Amino acid sequence: MPYVRDVSRRSVLALGSLTSAGALAACGNGRGDNGRGGGGWRRNGRAYKPVLSIYPEAEAALDVALAYDGQLTYCYPQPRQEGTSAVWSVTAAPDGTLTDPSGRTYPSLFWEGIAAKPFEQTEGFVVTRDRVTGLLEDMLGLLGLTDREAAEFITFWAPRIEQHERSLLTFAADQHSQVARYTFTDPGSGASIVPDVFVRVYLLVGEVPDQEVPEQTLASAPPRTGLTAVEWGGSDLRGT
């Protein structure tokens, strides 16, 4: 496998899986711990701005449950708690607009938290400060994000990444999906709903280690069709 090198524009894709299980789900304060192990840098990263967007083919009422292995520190809109899950009841429109039972609208469901399980950066991409924006533009298009979604991602993450001259970027939707699990339900019938496409983009931002790190290989995005859910977020493992 090739090793990481400084890159300017690289096309990659990260997709997560959809599973179900129990987890802590209270929007309060929490903290994580750091450590090394498993052959790479490990840290209980704070999840910054995971946002979930939902695009049905026709207007649809949904209960969206999040089971999170860790401590949720902020949610908007405020969900209710059912067992160990945080649950939002919304009506989703084809353009992604979400409406709660009171009639208030939102572009997405927002939450932040601290995972109980450490994230690992055993592979990734090294990027210099002056090449962050161009790299993210190329990556996120193939990650399955629209231009608008990519712009929101970049304007949140690029300034944070550029605080350091060089950074190690790892797309870790697989790790994130193990600790943050969504289920979708029809509130009328109680029937489970599985999105036709679920795009999950989760970025780990870390320090560049002294040793070489294998370059990450990622899969291609499927085209959006039917009911599409899109989530993006990340963790800054440098603690800045």
- For residue 238, pLDDT over 50 is answered with yes
- For residue 43, pLDDT over 70 is answered with no
Query: Residue 13 has what pLDDT?
Result: 32
Query: Residue 26 has what pLDDT?
Result: 52
The encoded tokens of residue 210 equal 């002294």
Place of tokens 């840290």: 43
| Mean pLDDT for the chain overall | 84
Which of 38-42, 44-48, 218-222 is predicted most confidently? 218-222
Query: Residue 46 has what pLDDT?
Result: 84
How many CB atoms are closer than 10 A to CB 21? 12
DSSP track, 31-56: ---EEEETTEEEE--EEEEEEEEEE-
Distance CA 122, CA 192 (A): 35
* DSSP code for 12: -
CA 181 to chain CA centroid, nearest Å: 11
pLDDT confidence tier of residue 29, bands split at 50, 70 and 90: very low
Q: Of 177, 181, 179, 166, which is closest to residue 213 (Cα–Cα)?
A: 166
- For residue 20, pLDDT over 50 is answered with no
Q: What is the mean pLDDT of residues 180-205?
A: 97
Query: pTM to 2 decimals?
Result: 0.83
In sequence order, the 6+-apart residues with CB closer than 8 A to the CB of 74 are 27, 110, 111, 112, 113
Question: Cβ distance 112 to 231 under 8 Å?
Answer: no
Q: What is the pLDDT of residues 149-167, one digit of tens each?
A: 999 999 999 999 999 999 9
Q: Can you state the percent helix, strand and coil of the chain, rounding each to 5? A: 15, 45, 40
> Lowest mean pLDDT: which of 22-26, 59-63, 103-107, 168-172?
22-26
Query: Residue 198 has what pLDDT?
Result: 97
Q: What is the pLDDT of residues 85-127, one digit of tens each?
A: 999 999 999 999 999 999 999 999 999 999 998 999 999 999 9
Query: Residue 190 has what pLDDT?
Result: 96
